[in-house]
Structure 1
Amino acid sequence: MKSFIINCLLLIAVFIYPIHSQQFIVGCYFTNWSQYRPSHGYFIPSYIDSTLCTHIYYAFANINIKNRSPSPFEINDIQSIIINNSIQYMGMYEQFNLLKIKNQHIKTLLSLGGASVNSTKFRYIFQSNKIRQEFIQNTIKYLRKYKFDGLDIDWEYPETEKDRRIFSLLIRDYRLAFQNESFLTNRTRLLLTAAVAAYRPKIEASYNIKEITPFLDYINLMAYDYHDRHFLGNWNTHIGFNSPLYPRSTEIDNQRFLNQQATVKTWIDGGCPPSKLVLGLGIYGRTFQLQQKNNPNIKPYAPSKGPGLPGSYTNSSGFLSYYEICDLIKKHEWHTEYDKEQEVPFAYKDDQWIGYDNEKSIEKKCYFIAKQRLSGAMIWSLDLDDFNGSFCEQGKYPLLTKIKKTLEKLQKPIKNNTKNFIK
């Protein structure tokens, strides 16, 4: 009976006492595989400028079915290298959370899942109430042990109506467990966020927005990759922008949902308050091979042979980091244009084409965030910006810095939210 009363009080608290941000969120994802990139692409937690972010996400933790607990993907996530009884190299979790020394206000979250963790694992762990509760309790122990401030759920993606129900249950139960642990231990409650789909048909199939929204502190919209195989499955046959802000006038039917404005509208129309939404910004480009060299048809939906050539550092077909794009433009004289209709740039040379973001388009998106009264911005990912300042001639972290400075400029006064707001 006592447990029932406590849970009821905790449930009431979720709805009555939501978190209100006093500043725009700047969420930054760190990828633990970027440590394996060569030369200038090599990236580890100590390279993160924690003053540019309010929340940093460690991507990713795996789901250990046997132990019913989160687990590391890389051995050095948790394991330090010790030589002659002296730590020569700290585990990545430890390096990551040391960033809180430099910025005491930053929050660190562990992101569970990612594209490499399939739905089968999520279903097994979270569909049974008994296993779900055990996994959640083990998650709390794991987060506390490694000094994270919260958990980010990244299930890509719930696919069925049953998955949709499971997702609602796991979000609710995580939040209640976090609140209960905080109540019983007198510790600051662990944060709970989720990285979610951006394409309207996928959103509607994956989530009951009204059910999950009250239990999440923030919702990270993965508002990029609009023209890769996760959306329409046609990135091998047509080119398209990675992360357009607005639709094209020529788009029809579901193509009208392939932009950030449509993503935000879908979530708000579904019952999510704008103050819970964090707009994802891609610090990279999607590349395509045109049907022929010097093709005059370089607008979205022009025919494509498939993904473009891989970059020297990221080494992935159809994908280039922002610093690799800068290198192509400056050293290899790629042509650049800016699409005013969709508010994004693109570059091309011979039979290669890239849709990406630059400082101009990032600034436009920050103004959109403020106008829509969203909670802030999130980037994927830190290691894809020009973090060393070696390629773009714009200083270190040019895109992330632009986000931080623009949102600070647009921040509403805390005491009076009705004045000095942007027009």
Structure 2
Amino acid sequence: MEQANSDLVLQLTVVILIAFFSVSDGAAEVGVKGAYYPSYIAATYPSTSIDATLFTHLFFAFVVMDPITFEVKPPDSDTEQELASFTGIVTASNPAVRTLVSIRGGGVEATSLSQMAANPTSRKTFITTSIALARLHRFAGLDLDWESPKDATEMHNFGILISEWHAATLLEANHSNLPPLLLTAAVYYGATIPFNSSHSYPVSSIASNLDWINIMAYDYYGFWTPSATAEHTALYFNTDYGISTWLKAGLPPHKAVLGLAMYGRSWTLANASETWIGAPAVGPGPPQPISGEPGFFFFSEIMQFLTNSNVSTVYDNRTVCAYSFDSKTWVGYDNALSIANKVQYLMTRKMAGYFFWAVSFDSNWTLSNSAFSTMGSYSSSVASSEPEAPVS
């Protein structure tokens, strides 16, 4: 019995040491330059199209959780094939890039995640199968896209889930003699979600158990706000307000990664002479040839829109965004200049870095290059406390 206790103490000591060196300081060691790859468009944009040299971390989106068994798995055979080859493809051009597999949790999946997180047995199934999937396909980490837990109970269970997930990754790393898997989560832009009854994220658990969170600083406006134009990625006051709530709630800055959008939101103008931010609109803009969704432009489609001679473009310093319009259509978005300024913003706040949704929406790597070059060799652990002047 004494020997068994001694072995247990030794194992727990190893786990604690791994925990100290992996989660407590991991994200601070290097600036995160990330992007999500939506595998469901692989037929038109295969993973071989990614310039992996522009990123430190790439997120494969998405795998799913079976709502009956709670096992994490690819949603179909095509995704399974993409998943199996993804890490090998992107590391061929950039051996240093780290890949994470993202688990979808929006829409109907959120209900299943809620059920899973409420029960110890289903949590264990979710955790063990997710770790096994990541290891099988040589991913360096796992990302949970449970974007908006709906109430205080779900937030509490989210905290328990990530605590158990973290502990399981450390034990698995100890047994496999491999580095612990990274653990991240995509979250609402503020630390408190105002929908239904106001409820807040378990920030203490997040800080202790996740390497960082991907803060979705976009989609503040869109087709659901049809009567006026708006900037869906406005830095002031939306993003700045949200980041401030996270930091005031106790999230260490080096656990915060800023979300950047490679797409715009569009509206149909009510009057061709009223084109400012907040101008009257009659609904979302028309669907575009590739994206095909009303009120939505890939950045590559915005670049095509700008080739029309009757299109005007304005850069707005208040929101740190651009917008373009003709006599009918208005689209708000980030261009290379606004991306550079937002990257400078995250550095002044000593955040860990940025991620893009989504890598396939860029145009000739314009936005990717702007973020990458602006951030340079920045490390959030040694960032200066003095704000830098904005790019002009």
Q: TM-score, normalization: structure 1?
A: 0.83
2-side partners of 1:154 and 1:332: how far apart? 40
C-alpha displacement of 1:215: 0.7
- Verify the 8 A CA contact 1:164 1:208 in the aligned structure 2: yes
97-106 or 137-146, which deviates more:
97-106
Whether 1:404 aligns to 2:372 is yes
The gaps in structure 2 that reach 5 residues or longer are none
In 2 relative to 1, CA 206–47 (structure 1 residues): closer, same or farther, beyond 3 Å?
Answer: farther
**Amino acid across the alignment from 2:164:** D
1:321-373 deviation digits (Å, cap 9, x = unpaired): 11100101113531111111111110111221111000110111111111111
* Structure 2 residue 38 is matched with structure 1 residue 70: no
The 1:140/1:332 distance shift into structure 2, 3 A limit, reads same
Cα shift at 1:9? 6.5
Contact 1:288/1:354, CA 8 A, preserved across alignment? yes
How many Å separate the matches in 2 of 1:306 and 1:199?
Answer: 27
Separation (CA, whole Å) in 2 of partners of 1:100 and 1:179: 24
* Equivalence for 1:86: none
Matches within 5 A, 1:19-418: 19-36=26-43, 42-79=44-81, 91-199=82-190, 201-202=192-193, 205-228=199-222, 234-247=224-237, 259-292=238-271, 294-296=272-274, 298-331=275-308, 333-386=310-363, 396-408=364-376, 411=378
Q: What residue identity is the alignment partner of 2:376?
A: E
* Contact 2:348/2:383 (<8 A) preserved: no
In structure 2, how many angstroms separate the alpha carbons of the residues matched to 1:208 and 1:366? Answer: 26
The amino acid across from 2:106 in the alignment is A
Shift of 1:66: 3.2
Deviations 1:50-96 (A, max 9, x none): 100000001111111333311213421224xxxxxxxxxxx443134
3-state secondary structure, aligned to 2:306? helix
CA contact (8 A) 1:283 1:357 kept: yes
* Cα gap change, 1:385 to 1:273, in 2 (>3 Å): same
The alpha carbon displacement at 1:418 in A equals 5.7
Equivalent position SS for 1:330: coil
Q: Give the ranges of 4+ consecutive aligned residues of structure 1 lying more than 4 Å apart after TM superposition.
A: 1-9, 416-423
> Which one-letter code corresponds to 2:299 in the other structure?
Y
Deviation at 1:280, TM superposition (A): 0.6
Query: Once structures 1 and 2 are overlaid, which stretch shifts more, 377-386 or 11-20?
Result: 11-20
Q: Return the alpha-carbon distance in structure 1 between the equivalents of residues 147 and 365 of structure 2.
A: 28
Q: Distance in 2 between matches of 1:304 and 1:238?
A: 5
TM superposition score normalised by structure 2: 0.89
Quick one: structure 1 residues 48 and 146, their matched pair in 2 at CA, closer, same or farther if it must change by over 3 Å? same
When residues 421 and 343 of structure 1 are mapped into structure 2, their CA distance, relative to the original with a 3 A threshold, is closer
Q: Is the 8 A contact 2:105 2:113 kept in 1?
A: no
Distance 1:227 1:8 in 2: 48
Letter in 1 for 2:292: N
- In the superposition, relative to structure 1, how do residues 7 and 263 fare at CA in structure 2: closer, same or farther (>3 Å)? farther
C-alpha change, 1:408 and 1:141, in structure 2 (3 Å) is: same
Gap change, CA 1:129 and 1:385, over 3 Å in 2 = same
Over the matched positions of the two proteins, sequence identity in percent amounts to 27
In 2, Cα distance between equivalents of 1:226 and 1:218:
22
Q: What is the rounded CA distance, in whole Å, between the counterparts of 2:115 and 2:88 in structure 1?
A: 30
Matched letter for residue 125 of structure 1 = M
- Cα 1:271–1:419 shift into 2, 3 Å: closer
Cα offset for 1:244?
A: 1.1
Q: Is there any run of 5+ residues in structure 1 with no aligned partner, and where? A: 37-41, 80-90, 248-258, 387-395
1:172 to 1:11, Cα distance in 2 relative to 1, 3 A? farther
Alpha carbons 2:28, 2:380 under 8 Å: kept? no
CA distance in 2, matches of 1:200, 1:67: 31
SS at match of 1:194: strand
Change (3 A) 1:23 1:287: same
Q: Which amino acid aligns with 2:102?
A: S
> How much does 1:223 deviate?
0.4
Using the alignment, how far apart are the partners of 2:20 and 2:153 within structure 1? 25
Provide the secondary structure at the position in 1 that maps to 2:35. strand
Cα offset for 1:221?
A: 0.6
Task: Measure the CA separation in 1 of the matches of 2:383 and 2:345.
Answer: 17
Aligned CA RMSD, in angstroms, stands at: 2.5
Instruction: Supply the distance in 2 between the matched residues of 1:134 and 1:8 (Cα, whole angstroms).
Output: 25
| Paired residues of 1:412 and 1:420 also in contact (CA < 8 A) | no
Q: 8 Å contact 2:254–2:380 — kept in the other structure?
A: no
Q: Cα 1:114–1:407, aligned 2, differ >3 Å: closer, same or farther? A: same
Matched residues in 1 for 2:362 and 2:209: separation? 32
Deviation at 1:420, TM superposition (A): 9.8
For residue 417 of structure 1, report the CA deviation from its aligned partner: 5.7
Amino acid at match of 2:368: L
